[in-house]
Amino acid sequence: MPGEWTLFGRVVLSFGIGFAIGWEREVRGAAAGDRTFALVTTASAAVVAVWGRSAPNTVAGVMTGVGFIGGGLVLRGESGMIKGVTTAATIWMAAAIGVVAGAGDLLLATLIAALTLVTLEVRYIPVLRALDARRHVAKMSDDSPPEGM
């Protein structure tokens, strides 16, 4: 059984990761920001660090509960467009990162967080900007049939 400081270290790492992801969301104008994400990752890590090994169903409870938070972030805008899906998915991802860190897989949690931030920032990173699908929508939405048909 890990000591109290080891468990606290897991929670602190989760807090830092959640704050970083939330900072990105807040800078981009999302409905949830650094405090919300830090709270979600910290709580997820704390619950799993204490009860996750003895009661694995707590992980399912954490992920389900956070799903409701994410659901509250999805809104229908004035134009009828659904807004907030990326932030809702990122909240769910933040909970998963907290679960992984709380379980003690700190390197994996950090790598997943890095992938999450790259995913969120792909359209703003000059080298990766070409991977943003929105840049290619006009080219792909041509109504003409493919060649040879």
Rounded to whole angstroms, how far apart are CA atoms 16 and 145?
Answer: 50
pLDDT at 34: 94
DSSP H or E run through 83:
strand 82-83
pLDDT at 5: 94
In the chain, domain spans: 4-140
pLDDT at 117: 96
Residues of the chain falling short of pLDDT 70? 1, 138, 140-149
pLDDT at 141: 66
Closest-CA residue to 123 (of 110, 136, 139): 136
pLDDT at 12: 97
